[in-house]
Each structure stands twice: as structure tokens, then as C-alpha cells.
């Protein structure tokens, strides 16, 4: 197996299945604009985040399993960012077309003290924790790199847009669980096939099936969660 074939085996069928659902092609109500904006954000955030992780040896890609690199990452890795995001957004569209969407309670106001106060608290805690854990044990590196950078964004979005996200929680939770679980299972097979590897010194130790670090499973679910809720928020704000 190569990384490109991984996409053919595991991502292409999901995309085709979702695209065959009529609801997945309904890009009205600002959803197409939201999708375009979100893809730009995904690449702007994930590209440096992933490159830094590979540069620090948290995970890597053996020669012969990919086409070529841009920076520290295979081209197929950049393709993965977009494929996962599109899969999540298409599934959100499908569920919305099936009537799972709820009406937003209100459009958030960033000037409200009820928003600014909690946001300031999240930022303060983020800086404080970052300073305290700067000399963390190496085995927490992957978990730290994941939760330190993703958790504040997820929390901030709920603080700002909970009146949109809560009525649409099924559009957030279901794609998170389904896409997260599918990619985790695919990743287990990919690790067994030697498509990529993890530095055992930079993961806490527990591995599903003795191969897949729990941090990797958390990664697929957190990224799916972030894409799903970002898409729901942006689509509502773009209406």
C-alpha cells in the first residue's frame, strides 16, 4: 500500500457515497461560501501544525510510501487535510437534508461581556498552561501538540456560537463520531502497512491493537469535531 492508494481505498469510497446522496450536493444558504472559507482555514492552520510535528519526530513517513514531499510532509498528507474536511462537510449536508438541522437561537455578538469574559479566560489559561508544561516529559509530546492547539479553538467556538451549535448538535456529533471512527480504523491498517510511524518516546504508551496510539484516534475525532462545528457556524453566519 502507498499513501495515494490509502486515499483510493479509504477516502474515495466515502466521498463517492456521500456525493451520491442528493442532500450532500445542496450548497445553498451560504454553505458553499462556508466550505470555501473553512478549507482555507484548515490548510492555513494544519500545514504548520503538521510540519512542526514531523520536524520534531512525533511521527514520520518512510521513503517509498509516498510521491514526494513539500516541506516535511508528503503531498498526499496535504491532500488528506482537504479530503477529511470535505467528507465531514458533506456528511453535515446529508444530515441537514434529512431534517436533522435545528434553527439557530441567535447570531452571536462578539462584543457581549458573556462572550468576551470566557474568551479571555480561555486565553489566560492557555498561556498559563503553556508556560507550566514547557518542560513536560517527552511521552506527552503528541498529546500536548494535539490538545494544546485544538482545545482552545473548540472551546472558543462554543463560547461564541453555542446558540447555533447546541440546536445543531447532531450535525456536529454524528459526523465527528462516524468520520473519526472510520479514519481511525483506516489508520490502523495504514500503520500496519507501514505508511507512517510514531515515535514511541513521544506517545504515552497505550495503543489500540498494539499499533495505533490513542492520541491518533483522538486526533481524527478532534479534527472532525472542529471541522463539523466550524462548518455549522460559518454556514449560519454566511446565510
Residues 174-183 pLDDT 10s: 999 999 999 9
The DSSP output letter for 10 is: I
pTM for the structure as a whole = 0.94
- ∠ Cα 217 163 83 (to 5°): 35
Query: In the chain, which ranges are E strands?
Result: 59-60, 69-70, 73-74, 197-198, 207-208, 212-213
- With contact defined as beta carbons under 8 Å apart, do 35 and 211 qualify? no
What span, in angstroms and rounded, lies between the C-alpha atoms of 42 and 19?
21
pLDDT per residue as tens digits for the range 66-91: 999 999 999 999 999 999 999 999 99
> Which of 14-23, 111-120, 190-199 has the highest mean predicted lDDT (pLDDT)?
190-199
Report in angstroms the alpha-carbon separations of 183 from 11, 124, 129, 161: 9, 33, 30, 27
- With contact defined as beta carbons under 8 Å apart, do 214 and 143 qualify? no
- ∠ Cα 62 68 69 (to 5°): 80
- With contact defined as beta carbons under 8 Å apart, do 116 and 172 qualify? no
pLDDT on residue 110: 74
Cell of 152: 482552545
pLDDT at 217 exceeding the cut of 90: yes
- Which residues sit opposite 212 in a β-bridge? 208
Least confident interval from 48-52, 105-109, 164-168, 169-173: 105-109
What are the extents of the domains in the chain? 3-237
- With contact defined as beta carbons under 8 Å apart, do 3 and 65 qualify? yes
Mean pLDDT of 145-155: 96
pLDDT on residue 25: 65
What span, in angstroms and rounded, lies between the C-alpha atoms of 161 and 230?
10
Amino acid at each position: 500500500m502507498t499513501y495515494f492508494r490509502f486515499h483510493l481505498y479509504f477516502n474515495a469510497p466515502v466521498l463517492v457515497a456521500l456525493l451520491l446522496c442528493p442532500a450532500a450536493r445542496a450548497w445553498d444558504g451560504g454553505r458553499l461560501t462556508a466550505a470555501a472559507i473553512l478549507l482555507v482555514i484548515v490548510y492555513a492552520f494544519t500545514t504548520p501544525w503538521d510540519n512542526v510535528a514531523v520536524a520534531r519526530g512525533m511521527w514520520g513517513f518512510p521513503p517509498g510510501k509516498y510521491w514526494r514531499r513539500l516541506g516535511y510532509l508528503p503531498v498526499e498528507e496535504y491532500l488528506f487535510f482537504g479530503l477529511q474536511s470535505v467528507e465531514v462537510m458533506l456528511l453535515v449536508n446529508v444530515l441537514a437534508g434529512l431534517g436533522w438541522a435545528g434553527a439557530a437561537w441567535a447570531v452571536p455578538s462578539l462584543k457581549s461581556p458573556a462572550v468576551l469574559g470566557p474568551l479571555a479566560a480561555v486565553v489566560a489559561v492557555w498561556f498559563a498552561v503553556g508556560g507550566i508544561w514547557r518542560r513536560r516529559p517527552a511521552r506527552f509530546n503528541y498529546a500536548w501538540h494535539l490538545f494544546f492547539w485544538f482545545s482552545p479553538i473548540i472551546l472558543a467556538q462554543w463560547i461564541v456560537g453555542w446558540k447555533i451549535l447546541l440546536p445543531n448538535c447532531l450535525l456536529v456529533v454524528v459526523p465527528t463520531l462516524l468520520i473519526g471512527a472510520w479514519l481511525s480504523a483506516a489508520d490502523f491498517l495504514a500503520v500496519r502497512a507501514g505508511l507512517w510511524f510514531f515515535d514511541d518516546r513521544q506517545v504515552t504508551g497505550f495503543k489500540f491493537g498494539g499499533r495505533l496510539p490513542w492520541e491518533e484516534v483522538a486526533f481524527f475525532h478532534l479534527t472532525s469535531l472542529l471541522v463539523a462545528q466550524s462548518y455549522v457556524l460559518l454556514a449560519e453566519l454566511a446565510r
